[in-house]
Structure 1
Amino acid sequence: MLVVTTNAVRSEWRSARRWLALLRRLPGERLKVAGTRVSCARIRDVLLRFPGMHDAEVFGMEDKARGEVPACRVVLGPGTSVGRLHGWCAAELNPVEVPRSIEPVDHIPRSATGKIMRWL
């Protein structure tokens, strides 16, 4: 049986003699980068403080060496460059928190309630 709550997935398996429950966080809230817990919300907050930033989405991207690394999609204003944003992140964040990939997009899709639609 698979049970999905607001911030976790719980998977249960039962047999006549054994019972096993696995609990893990949904992707997107926290990342584990080279053994270090990294908050996507913290990275997003720093990104949104950058001058000329309109919107940002942070997510995990697979990496062979580190397991997972932060990446982001951003909506930048005119005259703002990805290079300057990367430098800002390097100055404001810990080295494991700096996004390895910064993808500029026109808009970030959101639901009617304003939540980021991650599956698009």
Structure 2
Amino acid sequence: MITGSFLALALFLGYAVAVGLSMAATFGISKASPGFVAEDYRIRRRYKFVQDAVWLVATTAGGYAAALVIGQTHPWLGAIGLIAALIGVLWVNAWEMRQRGIEHQIAMSLATALGVTAGFLIRLR
């Protein structure tokens, strides 16, 4: 029971950190340089690459935060759960998927797996 509670808390915290950091970076970049982000109401290609990199950093932080909560109990269960949750939401959000394009959607999925794994490895080392 306690392990399940820690797992749920770890998944929630990891998700909140990853999405929160990504949103903060997106809003900050958009406010600082709107011309860099979009042109003629379309997201610019350069910004999509920046967004991929920001997502990698955000998922690394989210993985680290989740690993802080779950500890040594079942770390890979937490990592796999967080990866599945983040990628699931990434692919379900059809509007953003159309805006990004399939290449960046796949890149962000790979970044999710790499970032969460890196976050867990950094914490568990």
State the TM-score, normalizing by the size of structure 1: 0.30
More helix by share: 2
TM-score (ref. length: structure 2): 0.29
**More contact order relative to length (CA 8 Å, sep ≥ 6):** 2
The structure with the greater share of residues assigned to strand is: 1
